[in-house]
Every structure is written in structure tokens, then in C-alpha cells.
Structure 1
Amino acid sequence: MMDLLIELFSEEIPARMQARAREDLKRLITDGLVEGGLTYASAGAFSTPRRLALAVEGLTAESKPVREERKGPRTDAPEKAIEGFLRSTGLTLDQLERRADKKAEVFFAVIEKPGRRAAEIVAEVLAAAIRDFPWPKSMRWGSGNLRWVRPLHSIVAILSDEAGAQVVPLTVEGITAGDTTRGHRFMAPDAFRVTGFDDYAAKLRRARVMLDHDEREAAIRQDAANLAFARGWDIVPDDALMAEIAGLVEWPVPLMGVIEDRFLSLPPEVLQTSMKEHQKFLSARNPATGRIEGFVTVANIEAPDDGATILKGNQRVLAARLSDAAFFWDNDLRVAKAGMEDWAEGLKSVTFHAKLGSQADRVERIAALAREVAPAVGADADAAEQAARVAKVDLRSAMVGEFPELQGTMGRYYAQAAGLPDAVADAARDHWRPKGESDSVPAQPVSVAVALADKLDTLTGFWAIDEKPTGSKDPFALRRAALGVIRLVLGNGVRVPLAELLSDYIDARRVLAEQDVHFFSARIAAGVKRRGIVPKAADLLAFLHDRLKVHLREQGIRHDVIDAVLAMPGSDDLTLVVARATALNDMLKTEDGTNLLQGIKRAANILSQAEEKDGVEYAFGADPKFAETDEERALFAALDAAEPKIAAAMKAEDFPAAMTAIAALRGPIDAFFEAVQVNTDNQIVRRNRLNLLSRIREAGRLIADLTKIEG
């Protein structure tokens, strides 16, 4: 067995590309080795700003010989068929064998491939990986044709075993593989030789390079926490920033700095965002004051003055950045205190979409929709409309112009500065949420109303103009908007008849194409309704159902259970759908539930076959006086007891009680099928028994369309 070490040494690799590059290097090399006939025990990929590395352990020294036989066309087949077979095998006609096969003679190709040394296979695989590496962005340099994320300087490719180490014979675009690399750019720039991965990792550490990204990140996290603890502060959690910083340095040296008092009045989100986006600083919060008062910068060098000069330079740059932020903040506050009318007017010049008007048009629509949704979420309609009208105005603020990720956050501050109620200010902040799976869902009624209106406006608008997601393409993030609607509805127990609501708004959008936004708002406010669900609304509802299935599957609810519930009336009430699906899913996890399902489906199958054969529907008339067995009479009695309980529980939306009631039928149904022959020769008894099966089927239909349940 052999071990393989690969290092691709270049200029700085962007931090955001390193994790994917590690995965791609491992995949390309290991897949290529296996395809070449080699096996290996384990593989690990590593990265620093200037290198990608791969260590493969337990690699076989050579591939095994391969003998393959392929059956070809008949010997009297057309010439083109034979030529195609020859091309696919790489053989000539005289190398083919003729063999008798049934009634004809056919060509056979016997392809023998001798075993190959690992070095030869590694050289081919590595050369192909370098030339075809899937960087998101790459460049050429000098006069060569090789593309890499940044200029590639050297390649280390070493195979080692008990006998020693050998360099893989490889040259790519003038770069010849060797056993030499370099350490830290400033602290240990000289070249040194390595003999294998353990030697490589140890010498890199002595040369001030920490090879493992996760180790660098852990070191940054720990050292930053220690620096903050010494001052009585806490580091504001930011895993994404931690990971990015670890991709910017080879030898992390965290340094603690203090924010000048003149900037401490800025909102903490502004301080954190400015330091993160411009400087890649970690924020430090003082628990005693609740303010962000310090920062941690991570240097890539151990300085003679313990980083004092580095820290001084960073603080000077930070002061300039925060001065800009303070200027934006002061100007924005003046506009906010004046009522934000200038910003609202400015939204008229911001296009949302060419076919959907400006942001001001959109605000009008969201305000009308928020007012309509408000009663369903327990919000005051006036407050919901007021919140919707100010929720987007911070898009015109200087601060959000500089830091778009602060939209909503700054809206709350500006709404408070304008003297608006807290519920309205909170809705300005929260109406964007949830932005993703990890984001929390607003709970305050006004915030929920505006957040729902915002996302429903987006969905109905793009559906109305036929801009729907296709395949993996979703340029307007409509899947995220749909999931946001689902989480808002479910997280707050909202009962909204979506089919009617979607139809109203998509139909109103059709009118909007010919009229102006004020006509649209007035039409909705006046309660102008369209009878029935319009086709585009039905399609949008199906899209929401698809997103709901994904959401519920992640919570352990089976897809067929969801389908069974969605087939019932009221499927546009997502809260109702989830309550039904959860209860049904829980019942089917029990033995009684599984067996009951089989009994109901058996009854439905027998019944459908009989109805198809006889050309009639067996749906009524079952009479216990025609029962011939105790099992039949027991089933009649069980159905008489269960049916009203199921119906009452479903009407009361007490779905667990409904499941308990129908589960009581499991024993009588099992006993019936065990003892009774449905299709007896006595036609009166047969019809009675089929009508009895109809009662079983209908009992199941009270719960869900159980025919959609698999198994």
C-alpha cells in the first residue's frame, strides 16, 4: 500500500471558494483513482489561502489487469455497424473473434488491459483535475493556457511507502511536479522538501502554516473568546464570518481593539455590519451595557510589537468607516423625524419589476392586502396598513443603500424616530422574515399581517405575469417566498382560505394590467370578489402545496399522508391540512393504524371491482337484517358507533379524537374479512355486504383519501 500527497500552491485563493475547492479536489482525484483501477483506504482535503492539499492513505500500488469481452454485431451485418463496434472497442477487424451464437455468427471483442503503476494513473488523474478544475471564476496568466483561480506556482505530488518516497512524473503547462513547497509568505518564505503528509504537515507548522481550516477556525474562536473575556466582554456569534476569516490567514493571530466612544451611539447592527463587511472584524459586546464596544481583528503574522502597529492601522481605517456610517445615520434620522415622506415619494422611482410597477405601487398593494389579512391573524387593520406603508421606505435611506442587509432593521429605528407605534416599527423590521430555514418567524399580529401580505403580493404578482420558477432557476426567490408563507401560517396558527385570497389578487392583477394601482387597491378594499378559483390561483396553490410537502417531510410526515390529506376539501387552509396530516401520520405509526389502513383499502378495492363489473354504485342500503354472521353484525354495530364520533370530531377539528374513533374499527374489520365471503352466490346478501363495505370506505373518506396512502 502507498500514501499520496498532493499540494497545489498558488496565489491567494478567495476564502469563499476554499470549502468547495477542498470537496472538488477530493472528488476529482479519488473518483479518478477508482476509475483507473486503484483503491484507497481514506482521503482528506485541506486548504489555506495559498494552497489546496490532499492526503490519500492506503492506495494500491498498481491496478489489476482487466479482461473484457464484448459481443458485437453479426459477421454479415452492415459495414457501418461493424465500423461503429470497432470504434467503440479500439480494435481492428482482424483482432475480432468470430463465434457461433444461436443461428448466426457474431463478432466478439476481447479487450485486455494490463495493470498500471499507481504513479502513472495518479499523473493522468491529477493533470486532468488541474486542467478541468471547476473554479467559479478563474484566470490565465503569462503566456500559458492553464486557467486557475489565481496564478499556480507549484505542484507537489508524492507517492510513499515503506521503501521511501517518489515524485509523480507530471508536468502541467510548464509546471513540473516535485516535493518542494513553501511556508508562511512573510515568516517562513523559504522552500523546503517533504517526504509525505506527516512530514509535510509538521514542517508547515514549523513554517507558521496551520494547514487544517477547522483547526484555524477553532483557534480563532478560542483566542477571540479569551481576549474578550479578559475585558469582561462576549464575542457576538457569527459562524459565517469565523469561517471566512479562517480562509484569509495561514497563521491566525487575533488582536483585540476598542471602538471609539463617539461611535458607540450607532445602532449595534450598524457597528457589527460595518466591521464585518468592510474589515472582517468580529464584534465584541459588553454585557453590562448591551453595546458593541470592541472588536477582534485577526492578523496573519506574529509582529515584533505584539500587533500594536497592526491594531493601530486597523483602528484608523475603522474610524473612517464608522465616520461614514455615523454620517449616514445622522442624515437618515433627520428624514425619519420629518415623517419619511421624502423616502416614500422616492419609492416611485424605484422599479420593482417592469410588469409589476414601482416599489411605491407595490407598497399600495401590500397595504391593501395587509388590511384584508389582518383580521385572520388578530391584527388591527389600521395598524397593519400603516405598517405596510412604512415597511419599505428604508430602502431609500443612505444606511440601507450602503448596507442592503440592514433593510428592515433600519426601518424599525426610523419608524421609532418618526414616533410610530412599536407594533408598526416592529413590523417594518420583521416583515422580511423568515428569510430562510434558520430564520425565526414573526409572532406579533401586525408583523405577521405585513409579512404575509409582502410574500403573497410577490407570489400573486409573478404568477399573474407568468414568471414562475422553472427547474433549478428561481430568479425572484419565489420558492423562498412560498416557504415564508407556509411558516408564517403554521407558526402562528393562521386560518386563511388561500384559494379565495389568491384568486382575488391574481384576478385583480389582470385588472391592474389595464388600470392603475389605486384602482387595484380600491377594488380590493371594496370587497370585489371573483367566484371560484382562477386557473393561475389553482396553479399557485399547487406550488404552495409542493413547498408544504417538502417542509413537512423534513418534520417526518410521509409524502403520501400529505397527498391523502390534500385531496380533501379545505386543502387551502394550511393550518388545517397540517393538523390532519400530523394526526393521520401519528396513527399510521401504530399497529392498529397500519392494519386499519389495509382493511379500509381492501374494502375499497373489492368495492371498486364490483362496481366496475356490475355497472352500479354500492353506496347505500346496507341493512343488518340481512347479516348472516356475528362478524357482520359486529361490524354494523361498530360502524354505527364510530361514524357519528368521527364526523363530530372532524367537524370540531379534533383530529386525534377522529383517529381514535376510526381506529376502533380495526378489530371488527379484520374479523369481518377473516370470516365473511363478500361475493357470495346469494345476490341479496352480496349487495348488502358490498353496501356495508361502502360504509367502511366512507368512514375512511371522512379522514382523508386513504387510497393515496402507499403500502
Structure 2
Amino acid sequence: MADFLLELLSEEIPARMQVKASADLARMFEARLGDAGLRAESLETFATPRRLALIARGLPAETETVREERRGPRADAPDAAIAGFLRSTGLSREQLEEREDKKGGRTLFATIERPGRSTASVIAEAVPAIIRDFPWPKSMRWGGDSLSAESLRWVRPLQGIVALLGEEIVPFDVAGVRSGAATVGHRFHHPGAITIGSANDYVEKLRACHVVLDPAERRRIIADGAAAAASAAGLVLVEDDGLLAENAGLTEWPVPLLGGFDPAFLDVPREVIQLTMRTNQKYFACVDADGALAPSFVCVANVEASDGGAAIVDGNRKVLAARLADARFFWEQDLKVPLEQRTEKLSGIVFHERLGTLGEKVERVARLAQWMVQERIVRGADPAHVEAAARLAKADLGTELVGEFPELQGLIGSYYARAQGQPDSVVEAIRDHYRPAGQGDAVPTSPVTVAVNLADRLDTLVGFFSIGERPSGSRDPFALRRAALGFLQILIRSGLRVPLGDMLVQTAVLLIVSRMGALSSVSFPDLLDSDDHEHEITAEVGSFTYRHGDHVVVRWNSALTPNIERGKLIEEATDLSEAVLEFLADRLKVQQREAGVRHDLIDAVFSLGGEDDLVRVLARVKALQAFVETAEGTDLLAGYKRATNILKKEDWDEDGIPWHQPSFDLAAEEAELIQALDAQEPRAKMALEDEEFERAMAALARLRAPVDAFFDKVTVNDPDAVKRRARLNLLARMRTLVDQVADFSKIEG
């Protein structure tokens, strides 16, 4: 057994590509050797800015001899057929074996023996193929050969290859680069050639030449060294795993160094300073004991300087000072223009070519957020603050700072809003109207923020659904799944009891009217108390109102919108509402499954249909999960499924027929079940009306014993047709009651 070492030396490999490249190298090497019948006991991979390496431990000296038996034509087949078979096997006629087949005839068989190959020869074929097929996200050609499209592509110019099996070089050539045993150490500390003896001395020999091969070890060195440097100055390092990994991918011999910048720059928002250091310079930030940003940074050098790094720190300080000066200039220039004026620019920024400008989107979002407050869907918000926040939320997209740092949109707007005297609730809504932006992000709960945030997400979802840009498979170019997930998180976190159907129709109507250029004709009448609002159009003098569910959706001034086809508009709005509601329901199922809720229970509640209050859905699911995990729930589910199977087998569907007490003498168990249903049916219905789902489940739990006893003692398919019909109707009654709580047929078990 022997170990194989492969090192691919090149110019600098981007840090973001190194982790995947290591995984790809191991995967491709294992697959190539596997095709030849070879398997290593273990594989190790390493990546630095200048090299990609692999060690395969425990490879045999050669592949095993392979014996293959191949069936040929019949022995009395035409000569041409037999000759073709001989050519394919490389054998002579005498080397074939005749065997009697099932039909009494004679069939030819060939036994082909392929001797084992040396592992070195397999590797010599495999590695060049891996190099040529390597899936870099971006690659390049170089040198004179690059004029040909057939020349080698690599992430950066390939400079050397180490290929050692045991202590022997595995010879091969890739685009003029010969394999060997020589590599180089650190670019500055040990630029000369190093001869590697075998895989066993590779890691330590490079370490002696100032190259730490293991990325995890480099991350530890940086994390510990940066924290120690900050601590020595009485500061605390701001941890950043992404920045840690990036610096580990930029250095072969990392040396963390503490530096400082002019405290006057701290007048610039903290996030701008941190992002300037992180994005432009790859520096770690530091905070003082109170958590305030300190005028200090930790940079990571790739060299152990003779002066302790003083010159490196000074150079980095100067570069950072220039970056921060630019940021402060943008900040000060932006402050000179009120956010209200910046909203004018939004009409010139395209949101989507088929959905209009950002200015049009902002107008829709403002009206939708106002409507939510007016209709008391979102309670406790000042309508004036909601309108101001909605209209100013996107204004910072026209600022210099957001142009430089797009990831700060919303946050920068909140700084400007506070500096320009906007109320706290408006500032908070501008800052948080994009949240949550991902897993673990804060979920806003203040009323003004919630109204603007929900309106913005609904407008995005309905808008892209209206132009056919719905997520499918892994395709979601406009991050609609993330928008939906954030929407659901806000609803659940805030406990909002929102009529999603009404909200979605309202959003769709505003979008359609906006597309017609008639948004100015829309107004919001007061909330009307009427029981007959379902898809109703009320014509009035000079206007008409469309109502949906319990909420007035919108009123048009029909004199200003003579071209609106009312029926077509309402049909389109309703179709969009139903499509987005189905999408949100699917996202809720995914979210709850990831949170540990059983998928079958979610399906059981959603199968009831007609439910658009997601908070109520989750309350019902939670109560159902608690119930089915009890002994009563398990037994009732078994009884329900037994009853359902009997009814299905008998093709019995009498749910809609009013229950009548049987006229014949009842068995004791039969009478007990009827009494239990008489007692628990009104209790369950009242509990459901009161949305006390645990109480509804408790009512169902009291059916457990009567149902068990009924099946134990009563014959449903009685020869007497009257008894049989009455007992089937009794089971149907039980099924109907249970199905009002959830569709138990969807529950597993």
C-alpha cells in the first residue's frame, strides 16, 4: 500500500473558490480511480491561495485482475457472426467455450481476463483528465497556446505539478507542465524550490517554509491572533465568520495586526465604517467595553515582518483613511438633500420593465399600507406615520452611500430620516422594512413597520405573479420564496389575524389600476359593517366600489377611469389572489416542517379549505399535534380510519342528511356513541367558533371510549337493512364531526 500526493501550484486562487475546489478535486479523483477499480483508504485535501493539494492514503500497487464472461452467438451461427464476436473479445475460436442452452442448442461463451494495471499508470491518465475537466466557476487561458480554443483552462496560470506515489514520481504532462517532486514555499519567506520526498513529509516541509496548508488551521490562527491583538489594546474583536474564511483564503502564513484610524471618522454611521473595512479592506472591526465601535481595526498580513508589522499597519491605515474619507464625503453630501426630495428620483428608476418604476411601486405600497391601518388589519399605527414611512422607505436608493454600499439600503435611509427630524416610528420602519432578510434576521413587530413591510412584500409577490414570474423548482430569480417567508414570519411573530384573501385582492386591484395609469382615481371608503360583502360591486353616482370578504377593497372615481372593465379587473384580481395565497400556504408548510411540525398535520388542517387566517391555521395545527400524540388521539384516529374505510367500501356518503334517532332497539354501545356525539358535537362546534382548538380536541377525545366500544360490540353491516343504514349514518355523523376539526384522513398512523 502507498500514499499518493498531488499538488497543483498556480497563481492566486480566489478565496471564494477554494472550498468548492477542494471538494471537487476529491470527488473527481475518487471517481476516476473508482472507474479503474481503485479505492483509497482516506482522502485529504488542502487549499491555499497558491495551491490545491490532495493526499490519497492506502492505495494498492495495482488494480485487481478482472475476469469477464461474455455470452456469444450460437455455435452453429453464420461465420460472419462468430468472426465479429471473436474480434470484440480478442480471442480465437479455440479459446471459446460451448455450453448447452435451455433449448438444447449450443452457445458460445468467452472468458476474458484483463490483467491488473499499475496504480501509477491509472493516476497518470486520471490526473490530466481531472485538470482539463475541472469545474472552476471562472477560468482562463494564458501564454502562446491561449490562441487556441483547445488550450488548457485553469483558474489562474498553472505553474507546477507534484505527483508522488510513495516516493516515486508519477510522470505525465499537462499543457507543457511536467509532473515532478518540486514545489515552492511562501512567496516571500521561502520563494525557492522545495523537493518533496513523499506525502508523509509534505505538510510539515511546507510549514517549515511558512505555508500552512490546512484552511481550518489558518482560520484558527487568525481568530486567536486577532482576538489577542484586540484584547491587548483593551478592545473586543467583532467576530465575523465570513471575513475569517476570506482572510484564511488570502494568506498562506497569516499574521493578524492591530491598527487604528482617526476617531473623527466615527461621526459616520457605524455600519458604513464596518462595511468599508470589511468589503474594501478585509479588516476586522473592534468595539470598546461598552460595545461602541472603536477607532481600531485588525488586518491580516501574509508575512512575518522584521519590524513587527509596523510598516504594514501604517500602509493599511493610510488606505483605510482614504476609504473612510470617501464614505464621510458621501454621508455629508447626502445629508444636504431631504429624503422627501430624493423620492422624486424613484420615478426614473425601473423596478421591473413590466412592473413600472420604483416611484409607482412606492405609491402602491403607500396606499396598501394605509388601507391596512384604516381597515384595522394592522392596529396601533399612526396613519400619517405609515404614509410617511412608506413613501420614504426607498428614498435612500438615490443616495451616494447606498450607491457605494447597496447592502445598506433602508439602514442608511433611517439615519438620514432621524437626522432630518422624522418620528421614531418612521425611522424604524425605514430601517426595518426589508427585514427579515434571511434566516436568523430580526423580525419587526412595531405597527408602522409591519404595515409598510407587509405592503411592500405583498406588492412584490402579486406583481411578479401577475407577469408569470413564479418560482419553479430551483428557479427563483426574484427571491419570491424569501419574500414570502419573511411575510409569514412577520404574521406569526406579531400574531396578526389578517384576512389574506382581502389583502391579496386589494394588492392586485392596486397593481392593475396602477398599470392602467389610473391609481389617482382610487380612494378608500370607511369600513362598512355588512354581512354581504363577498365579491360585490356597488355602483354609485360617479364611482363604484368593489368589496371582498369583510373588507371594502377599493373605490374608483369611474369618471377618471372610463376604460376599466370591471368584470375583467375583478376576475384577474381574484385569480392573482388565489395563486399567491396557494403559494403562501405552500411556503407555510415548508416553514413549519422545518420547525418540526408534522407535514401530515399541516395538510390535515389546510385540507379543510377556505382558510386564509394563517395564525388561526397554526393554532389549529398546534392543538392537533398535541392531541394526536396522546393515547386518546391515537385511538380516535384508528377508529376514524376504520369508520372511513367502512363508509368508503360501502360507497356511503350521507354526511348531508340530518341525523335521526334510530327507531329500533339500540345496542348499549350504539346508544353510548349516540349520547357521546349528542354531547360533544355542540361542544366541539362552539369551541371551533371560539377558536379554542384545544377545547375542540378535548371534546373529540371524549369520543374515544364510545367509538372503541362500538366497533368491539356492534356489527355495522347488519343483515337488517334498517340497522345497517342507521349504523352507517352514525359512522358518517362521527366522521363529519371529526372532519370539522381537521381532515383526519391526511394524518399518518
TM-score, L = length of structure 1 = 0.92
Distance in 2, Cα, partners of 1:73 & 1:710? 54
CA gap of 1:468–1:206, structure 2 versus 1, over 3 A, is: same
Q: Is the 8 A contact 2:505 2:553 kept in 1?
A: no
Hey, what does 1:261 align to over in structure 2?
263
Hey, what does 1:32 align to over in structure 2?
32
Structure 1 counterpart of 2:733, from 695, 706, 709: 695
| Paired-residue identity, % | 48
Letter in 2 for 1:701: D
Hey, what does 2:169 align to over in structure 1?
167
Structure 1 residue 133: deviation in Å?
Answer: 0.9
Letter in 1 for 2:157: P
Q: Does 1:123 align with 2:163?
A: no
Task: Identify which range, 120-129 or 139-148, moves more after superposition.
Answer: 120-129
CA gap of 1:696–1:284, structure 2 versus 1, over 3 A, is: same
Hey, what does 2:431 align to over in structure 1?
429
Distance in 2, Cα, partners of 1:591 & 1:229? 57
Q: Is the 8 A contact 2:63 2:118 kept in 1?
A: yes
Deviations 1:525-544 (A, max 9, x none): 74579589722322222211
Structure 1 counterpart of 2:229, from 227, 230, 233: 227
Q: Is the 8 A contact 1:363 1:392 kept in 2?
A: yes
Pairs within 5 Å for 1:332-481 = 332-335=334-337, 339-374=338-373, 375-378=376-379, 379-481=381-483
Structure 1 counterpart of 2:246, from 240, 244, 257: 244
Q: Is the 8 A contact 1:361 1:517 kept in 2?
A: no
Letter in 1 for 2:732: S
CA gap of 1:112–1:590, structure 2 versus 1, over 3 A, is: farther
Letter in 1 for 2:296: G
Hey, what does 1:189 align to over in structure 2?
191
Q: Secondary structure at the match of 1:56?
A: strand
Task: Identify which range, 658-667 or 357-366, moves more after superposition.
Answer: 658-667
CA gap of 1:37–1:593, structure 2 versus 1, over 3 A, is: farther
Q: Is the 8 A contact 1:74 1:104 kept in 2?
A: no
Q: Does 1:563 align with 2:563?
A: no
Q: Secondary structure at the match of 2:180?
A: coil
Hey, what does 1:311 align to over in structure 2?
313
Distance in 1, Cα, partners of 2:717 & 2:39? 62
Q: Is the 8 A contact 2:7 2:53 kept in 1?
A: yes
Q: How many equivalent pairs are there?
A: 700
Q: Is the 8 A contact 1:286 1:293 kept in 2?
A: no
Structure 2 counterpart of 1:583, from 623, 636, 642: 623
Q: Is the 8 A contact 2:185 2:192 kept in 1?
A: yes
Distance in 1, Cα, partners of 2:399 & 2:429? 17
CA gap of 1:671–1:616, structure 2 versus 1, over 3 A, is: closer
CA gap of 1:627–1:297, structure 2 versus 1, over 3 A, is: farther
Structure 1 residue 570: deviation in Å?
Answer: 4.3
Task: Identify which range, 515-524 or 184-193, moves more after superposition.
Answer: 515-524
Q: Secondary structure at the match of 2:53?
A: strand
Deviations 1:200-236 (A, max 9, x none): 1111111111111111111111111111111221112
Structure 1 counterpart of 2:508, from 497, 500, 506: 506
Q: Does 1:649 align with 2:687?
A: yes
Structure 1 counterpart of 2:592, from 552, 555, 564: 552
CA gap of 1:532–1:330, structure 2 versus 1, over 3 A, is: closer
Structure 1 counterpart of 2:715, from 677, 685, 690: 677
CA gap of 1:629–1:15, structure 2 versus 1, over 3 A, is: same
Task: Identify which range, 656-665 or 257-266, moves more after superposition.
Answer: 656-665
Structure 1 residue 445: deviation in Å?
Answer: 1.5
Q: Does 1:155 align with 2:192?
A: no
Hey, what does 1:114 align to over in structure 2?
115
Distance in 1, Cα, partners of 2:73 & 2:665? 68
Q: Is the 8 A contact 1:416 1:422 kept in 2?
A: yes
Hey, what does 1:604 align to over in structure 2?
644
Letter in 2 for 1:696: M
Hey, what does 1:632 align to over in structure 2?
670
Deviations 1:249-273 (A, max 9, x none): 1111111111202212111101001
Q: Is the 8 A contact 2:2 2:57 kept in 1?
A: yes
Q: Secondary structure at the match of 2:250?
A: coil
Hey, what does 2:42 align to over in structure 1?
42
Distance in 2, Cα, partners of 1:346 & 1:63? 70
Distance in 2, Cα, partners of 1:659 & 1:195? 73
Residue segments in structure 2 that go unaligned for 5+ positions in a row: 146-150, 525-544, 546-551, 557-568
Residue segments in structure 1 that go unaligned for 5+ positions in a row: none
Q: Is the 8 A contact 1:434 1:440 kept in 2?
A: yes
Q: Is the 8 A contact 1:565 1:571 kept in 2?
A: no
Distance in 1, Cα, partners of 2:77 & 2:705? 67
Distance in 2, Cα, partners of 1:665 & 1:78? 80
Letter in 2 for 1:381: P
Structure 1 residue 618: deviation in Å?
Answer: 7.6
Structure 1 residue 579: deviation in Å?
Answer: 1.8
Structure 2 counterpart of 1:321, from 316, 320, 323: 323
Hey, what does 1:55 align to over in structure 2?
55
Q: Secondary structure at the match of 1:3?
A: strand
Q: Secondary structure at the match of 1:352?
A: strand
Q: Is the 8 A contact 2:251 2:301 kept in 1?
A: yes
Q: Secondary structure at the match of 2:678?
A: helix
Structure 1 residue 311: deviation in Å?
Answer: 0.8
Task: Identify which range, 34-43 or 450-459, moves more after superposition.
Answer: 34-43
Letter in 2 for 1:240: G
TM-score, L = length of structure 2 = 0.87
Task: Identify which range, 426-435 or 619-628, moves more after superposition.
Answer: 619-628
Pairs within 5 Å for 1:518-529 = 518-519=520-521, 526-527=554-555
Structure 1 residue 591: deviation in Å?
Answer: 4.0
CA gap of 1:545–1:101, structure 2 versus 1, over 3 A, is: farther
Q: Is the 8 A contact 2:513 2:519 kept in 1?
A: no
Q: Is the 8 A contact 2:160 2:183 kept in 1?
A: yes
Structure 1 residue 148: deviation in Å?
Answer: 0.8
Structure 1 residue 77: deviation in Å?
Answer: 12
Q: Is the 8 A contact 1:412 1:429 kept in 2?
A: yes
CA gap of 1:77–1:559, structure 2 versus 1, over 3 A, is: farther
Task: Identify which range, 506-515 or 447-456, moves more after superposition.
Answer: 506-515
Distance in 1, Cα, partners of 2:494 & 2:78? 71
Q: Is the 8 A contact 2:41 2:59 kept in 1?
A: yes
Structure 1 residue 289: deviation in Å?
Answer: 6.8
Q: CA RMSD, aligned part only?
A: 3.0
Structure 1 residue 72: deviation in Å?
Answer: 8.0
Q: Secondary structure at the match of 2:47?
A: strand
Deviations 1:650-676 (A, max 9, x none): 222222332233233233323322333
CA gap of 1:636–1:91, structure 2 versus 1, over 3 A, is: farther
Letter in 1 for 2:190: A
Structure 1 residue 583: deviation in Å?
Answer: 2.3
Distance in 1, Cα, partners of 2:318 & 2:190? 29
Q: Is the 8 A contact 2:655 2:732 kept in 1?
A: no
CA gap of 1:324–1:608, structure 2 versus 1, over 3 A, is: same
CA gap of 1:242–1:110, structure 2 versus 1, over 3 A, is: same
Structure 1 residue 32: deviation in Å?
Answer: 2.5
Q: Secondary structure at the match of 1:376?
A: coil
Structure 1 residue 171: deviation in Å?
Answer: 2.1
CA gap of 1:257–1:605, structure 2 versus 1, over 3 A, is: same
